[in-house]
Amino acid sequence: MTKGWGLRIYALIYLLFLFAPIILLPMFAFNSGKIIAFPLQGFSTTWFEQLWTRTELHRAVQNSLIIAVSVAAISTVLGICAARAGALDDYPFKRSMIGLVMLPLVLPEIILAVALLVIIAKVLGIAPSVWTIIMAHVLICTPYATAILNGAFQNLDKSFEEAAMDLGENRWGAFRLVTLPLVMPGIISAFLIAFIISLDEFIIAFFLSGNVTTLPVYIYGLRRQSDDLPIIMALGTILVTMSVALLIVAEFFRRRGMRRAGIKDSGGLL
């Protein structure tokens, strides 16, 4: 079978291009040399050890975790509302209302950052804090959560809930006992994706952070110190390992959700 071998080679080279940074990352993180270049010097864990001594980094991680967990919770709830509404009956302007909820997905981030800075800092005069970043991140994570949950809600058989109501459950009971378990994998997956996006978001966080440091804001602050580059590599290795692990869990739940809803899987997480 030789069909498409040229394409196959091209696709593999393309995958190599996509994964090049992730493959190189641990190589330099465990390299004892201060300069990031080939040939590699020798194995060392010193850059990881140095991460423990940086108290400002610990503060940043703490802030980022508070933000990411809150954002994931709030945007998953908003995503459930939007996805469930999308699967229920139509009414005038429903599509355009959903379109507005999904709009942050395609707006340039700098525009959202500017708009949020103007309204939060200049108009309302609220000082930048963890809360202002949470408010902004919920805006950009809700569309992602909605997109994932749409997959879970869309093809759900309506007759299940109707059957539960015929058997004496009220509407909320039917939702809680029948629909919720069926879409739970989608909910977990949406939560994890929102968590990862918020943890990693920089462009908007930088505008709204003031003197609150999040993890990406901290990493950005190291950009001019070339001595710190190996430490960034070590930090990056930890982050990449963590998000790949979370992604695999999210993908597992997303697929399980798709199977429960009885639809053929056709794409990745996006």
Partner 1 sequence: MAGGGFISTGGRRSLMLLLPPFLYAIVLMAVPLGAVVAISFSGPDGFSLANYAAVFTEPINVRGVMRGTWAAGDLSWTPGLLPRSIYVSVMVTVATVVLAYPVAYFISFVVPPQRKSLWMFLITIPFWTSYLIRIFLWKVILGFSGVINSALIWVGLIDEPLTFILYNANAVIITLSHAYAPFAILPIFVALEKIDRSLLEAAQDLGENRVTTFLRVTLPLSVPGVVAAVLIVFIPTIGDYVTPELVGGSGGLLIANRIQALFLQVNDPGLGAALSIVTMAAVALVSLLFVFTCRRWLRSRT
Residue with tokens 């909320």: 172
Name which of 201, 80, 211 is nearest 150 in CA terms: 80
Q: Which stretch binds partner 1 (CB under 8 A): 42-50, 53-61, 177-185, 215-223?
A: 215-223
Q: Which of 41, 58, 118, 166 binds partner 1 (CB under 8 A)?
A: 118
Q: Which of 51, 73, 117, 165 binds partner 1 (CB under 8 A)?
A: 117
Q: Is 11 in the site for partner 1 (CB under 8 A)?
A: yes
Q: Is 262 in the site for partner 1 (CB under 8 A)?
A: no
Q: Is 16 in the site for partner 1 (CB under 8 A)?
A: no
Instruction: Take residue 97 and report the two structure tokens written for it.
Output: 């209302």
CB of 66 to partner 1, least distance (A): 18
The smaller minimum CB distance to partner 1, of residues 58 and 223, is found at 223
The smaller minimum CB distance to partner 1, of residues 111 and 177, is found at 111
The smaller minimum CB distance to partner 1, of residues 72 and 139, is found at 139
Helix ranges (H only) for the chain are 5-29, 46-52, 55-87, 94-102, 109-117, 130-154, 158-166, 171-174, 180-200, 203-208, 215-221, 229-261
Pattern 224-243, partner 1, x by CB under 8 A: -----x--x--xx--xx--x
Q: Residue 250 carries which side chain, given as an amino acid letter? A: A
Are the C-beta atoms of 158 and 91 separated by less than 8 Å? no
Q: Is 28 in the site for partner 1 (CB under 8 A)?
A: yes
Residues 177-206 that bind partner 1 (CB under 8 A): 196, 200-203
Pattern 58-97, partner 1, x by CB under 8 A: --------------------xx-xx-xxx-xxxxxxx--x
Instruction: Take residue 46 and report the two structure tokens written for it.
Output: 């010193």
Most distant pair of Cα atoms in the chain: their distance = 71
Are the C-beta atoms of 217 and 206 separated by less than 8 Å? yes
Q: Which stretch binds partner 1 (CB under 8 A): 42-50, 64-72, 183-191, 216-224?
A: 216-224
Task: Output the CA–CA distances (angstroms, integers) from residue 125 to 110, 132, 133, 142, in the order listed.
Answer: 20, 11, 15, 25
